[in-house]
Amino acid sequence: MSSNVRTMPNEQSRQIQRTIEEILQGIRRKLEAPLYLQISSEKNGSLSIRHIQFLTIDEFAEMCRVEKRTVYGWLDDAERTGLKCYRPPGSRSLLFELNETVEWISNNSNLEQK
């Protein structure tokens, strides 16, 4: 019994350390992600600056609860599905704008999986 008491703080300490490391990894990923801003002129002449958040294909597939290949199928048929994606300059990756994605999902909730 006494050995369990002694190991309990060590196990709790390891668990706390793992949790802290996971949180730090998440923060690092967010800080490393590019920042996209949309700057436009309003009718009154003022500037409007809006932060645009993008999802990777993995994040988009996870949000839709489908495999990545299903998303690629939707993209192959984008004219019919209306799915939009973007390719950052100098990159091969595809990005999906979060607000457009949410709207697309709500308009296509019955879209069959390929």
CA distance 62 to 44: 40
- Does 114 have pLDDT greater than 50? no
Q: Based on the structure, what is the number of domains in the chain?
A: 2
pLDDT of res. 111: 65
Q: What's the predicted TM-score (pTM) here?
A: 0.61
pLDDT of res. 1: 47
CATH of residue 112's domain is 1.10.10
Which range of residues forms the domain containing residue 46?
36-114
9 and 56 inside one domain: no
pLDDT of res. 60: 92
Q: What is the pLDDT of residues 34-83, one digit of tens each?
A: 777 888 888 898 988 888 888 999 999 998 889 999 999 999 988 888 89
83 and 51 inside one domain: yes
Residues 6+ apart with CB under 8 A from 99: 53
43 and 26 inside one domain: no
45 and 27 inside one domain: no
18 and 54 inside one domain: no
